[in-house]
């Protein structure tokens, strides 16, 4: 199941409710929302904190439904989402009031998604779409991804995204209104802004290559970073790689990268760590153990990693190849399309970060309050969409 950044392991799964109210004066039944996916960390963060709105026995106004079971898979696996199948929608007609799609639709064809949205309209179930990825980090060729968005964006009753830059691009391409909502905190509240018990020296630059997905240009980034970090006093480059792609049998195994990393480690130019994918706790321990996280993303859109760094006080140095540069303050560098990272700009960004005061992390009170505002906005959106839909049905 997805970890705190939605990459592989387990986020919490629960059904959260808010105290009841009338929906458009039509009914006091709870509004049933199915997020796709439901058990992923990001949709979970959009829900009101249990107990924050009063008596837990109060009648619910918004109920979040769990992910449908995937046939033949573990009970906590949400992909591929059965709810994205038109036949599944027909079989469950009358059980949903709102569908909120985030991601997990890469296996569907654009034609299949068009049929799916047509079925939602027939059932008068509003679709909320959060565009997390204008550019999909898992694919080099973006044509299929954009074709899927061509089917989804115009069909949505409400389109959301996380940054103003992406909102402008959505409006320019599809001519639809877009609401920008901030990315809620990723780290658990007790870690946000918490003191980090670690020495001031050495200054640790973390370069996590994860599972070598398509947007991670590992070899040029390692080459550039070794040079840049080597020019800083008392600095160490730590490179992490998920063990799955280190194994020669893995389809994303990069033999040249493996050889380069081992040679650089033997030369004392980096600290290499190969390990299984982090659990949530391991992820936050890692981010709290480094001073700066260097993003190796040749392309993409948004980043939960940036939010996690902000929460726990790891500075971020990132390329201007996506809209994560709008999410939180950070130092940036250029990366020409088809070329290597700009070594001069990368060095300047690291030097600026090195000279700056140590990061203290986000303000816990502010981040918790922000999450409450974000969850309240989403509940109100669901309630208003259903009220409008029910009014049209009654007229």
**385: closest CA among 301, 213, 393?**
393
pLDDT of the residue at 36: 98
Please state, in angstroms and as integers, the Cα–Cα distance from residue 330 to each residue in 161, 189, 356, following that order.
20, 22, 11
Q: Can you read off the two tokens belonging to residue 61?
A: 């106004």
| Domains of the chain with CATH codes | 17-185+368-394 (3.40.50), 189-355 (3.40.50.2000)
Please tell me the distance from the alpha carbon of residue 114 to that of residue 116, in angstroms, as a whole number.
Answer: 5
Please tell me the distance from the alpha carbon of residue 18 to that of residue 119, in angstroms, as a whole number.
Answer: 28
10-residue block means of pLDDT along the chain (395 residues)? 55 34 58 97 85 41 95 92 98 98 97 98 98 98 98 98 98 98 97 86 96 97 97 96 98 98 98 97 97 98 98 98 98 94 97 91 96 96 94 79
**274: closest CA among 212, 215, 221?**
212
For residue 318, what are the β-bridge partners?
A: 332
Sign of torsion over alpha carbons 212, 213, 216, 220: positive
Please tell me the distance from the alpha carbon of residue 283 to that of residue 358, in angstroms, as a whole number.
Answer: 20
- Residue 108 is classified by DSSP as S
pLDDT of the residue at 22: 44
pLDDT of the residue at 1: 46
Task: Give the DSSP H/E element, type plus range, for residue 222.
Answer: helix 218-230
Question: Whole-model pTM above 0.85?
Answer: yes
pLDDT of the residue at 27: 55
pLDDT of the residue at 374: 97
């Amino acid at each position: 199941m997805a970890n705190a950044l939605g990459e592989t392991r387990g986020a919490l799964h629960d059904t959260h409710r808010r105290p009841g109210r009338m929906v458009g004066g039509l009914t006091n039944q709870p509004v049933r929302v199915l997020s796709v996916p439901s058990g992923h960390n990001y949709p979970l963060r959009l829900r009101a904190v249990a107990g924050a709105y009063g008596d837990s026995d109060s009648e619910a106004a918004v109920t979040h439904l769990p992910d449908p079971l995937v046939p033949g898979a573990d009970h906590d696996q949400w992909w591929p989402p059965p709810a994205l199948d038109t036949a599944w929608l027909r079989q469950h007609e009358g059980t949903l009031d709102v569908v909120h799609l985030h991601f997990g639709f890469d296996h569907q064809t654009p034609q299949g998604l068009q049929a799916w949205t047509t079925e939602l309209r027939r059932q008068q179930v509003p679709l909320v779409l959060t565009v997390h990825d204008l550019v999909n980090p898992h694919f080099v060729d973006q044509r299929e991804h954009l074709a899927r968005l061509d089917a989804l964006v115009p069909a949505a009753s409400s389109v959301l995204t996380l940054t103003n830059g992406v909102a402008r691009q959505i409006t320019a391409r599809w001519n639809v209104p877009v609401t920008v909502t901030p990315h809620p905190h990723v780290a658990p509240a007790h870690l946000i802004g918490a003191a980090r018990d670690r020495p001031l020296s050495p200054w640790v630059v973390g370069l996590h290559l994860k599972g070598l997905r398509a947007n991670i240009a590992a070899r040029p980034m390692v080459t550039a970073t070794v040079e840049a970090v080597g020019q800083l006093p008392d600095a160490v480059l730590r490179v992490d790689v998920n063990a799955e792609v280190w194994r020669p049998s893995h389809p994303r195994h990069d033999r040249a990268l493996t050889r380069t990393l081992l040679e650089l480690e033997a030369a004392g130019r980096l600290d290499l760590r190969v390990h299984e994918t982090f659990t949530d706790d391991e992820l936050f321990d890692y981010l709290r153990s480094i001073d700066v996280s260097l993003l190796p993303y040749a392309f993409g859109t948004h980043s939960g990693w940036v939010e996690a760094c902000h929460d726990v006080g790891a500075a971020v140095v990132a390329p201007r190849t996506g809209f994560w540069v709008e999410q939180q303050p950070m130092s940036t560098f250029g990366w020409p399309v088809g070329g290597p990272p700009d070594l001069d700009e990368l060095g300047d960004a690291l030097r600026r970060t090195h000279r700056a005061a140590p990061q203290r992390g986000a303000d816990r009170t502010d981040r918790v309050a922000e999450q409450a505002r974000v969850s309240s906005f989403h509940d109100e959106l669901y309630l208003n969409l259903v009220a409008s839909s029910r009014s049209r049905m009654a007229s």
